[in-house]
Amino acid sequence: MSLDDLSNNYLFALDSLESNKTAELSALVANLASANGTELAQALKLAQVGYILVPASSGSAVAELAIGLNSIKELEGVGSTEFGQLWRVVNPATDLPAVDETKFWSVTKGIQFAVLLVFILLALPTGSTRKRTAGASEIFVEAGEE
């Protein structure tokens, strides 16, 4: 289970990701998996990666990957966790940019607002309902007078 299976917002955000950023991230992942000695410090900083988790799994492929990550000088092993093996980036990016809060609208907010608007419209009293309510009241008054 990954984040794009859980969050539609994340899925839309991925779709709008610039293709060059995806390519940079893909190249970084490929170099990490290959453990080919390529200098990765700058790429890890640009991608703002602080930790790498290899999900717990048996098999030689995962063991080979773990051995490869151990040989990368930009990473240091943290150890095994209940979710898998964890590595820490030795010199991670510290000057992370602030989250962009300028975008007021999002898809979720739009849907929420639309639903709210529909409920408000449904709750508005119309002329016919007022008339029906008045008629019922008169009948009730007459019944009480008897």
Partner 1 sequence: MIKQIFSLASVVAALTAGTILAPSFELNVGVKQSAAEVQVKARDLSLVCPGGVYQSGGSSGTKLGSFVQIGSPLISSAYSQAGSTELVSNDGVYTVKDSTGDAQQGSTLLNVNQIQLANTSTISGLAAAACQRPSSEMWINGGDTTTGHEALLILRNAGATDATVDLEIFSEGGSVDAPGLKGIAVSADQSIVLPLAGLIPKTATFTTHISAHGGAIAAWVQQRVVHGLAAAGVDFISPSPDASVDAVVPGVFIRGSALVTKLVKSDASYGDLRPTLRIFVPGTKSATFTAQIMGATAETFGTVIHEEVPGGTVVDFKLTGLVDGDYVALIDSDQPVIASVRLSRVVASRTPDFTWLSAAEGFNNARMISIPAPGISKICIYDKTTGKVSVEKLTGGSDYGFTAGDSVRYATVIVDVDGAVANIPVLDQKNAGGKVSVTVR
Interface with partner 1 by CB under 8 A: which residues? Answer: 2-4, 8, 11-12, 14-15, 17, 22-23, 25-27, 29-31, 33-38, 60, 63-64, 66-68, 70-71, 77
The distance of closest approach from Cβ of residue 142 to partner 1 in the complex, given in angstroms and rounded to an integer, is 33
Rounded to a whole number of angstroms, the minimum distance from the CB of residue 35 to partner 1 is: 6
For partner 1, which is the closer residue by CB, 33 or 93? 33
∠ at Cα 56 (53, 57), nearest 5°?
Answer: 130
80 forms bridges with which residues in the sheet?
85
Q: How far is the CB of 77 from partner 1 (least distance, A)?
A: 8
Residue 124 beta carbon to partner 1: minimum distance, rounded to whole angstroms: 31
What is residue 80's DSSP assignment?
Answer: E
Rounded CA gap, 9 and 110, in Å?
A: 12
Which residue lies nearer to partner 1 by CB, 23 or 116? 23
The gap from C-alpha 139 to its chain's centroid, in whole angstroms, comes to: 58
Output the CA–CA distances (angstroms, integers) from residue 86 to 18, 55, 73, in the order listed: 28, 9, 15
Residue 68 or 84: the one with the smaller Cβ distance to partner 1 is 68
User: In this complex, which beta carbon is closest to partner 1, that of residue 2 or of residue 126?
Assistant: 2
Assigned token pair, 82? 């209940």
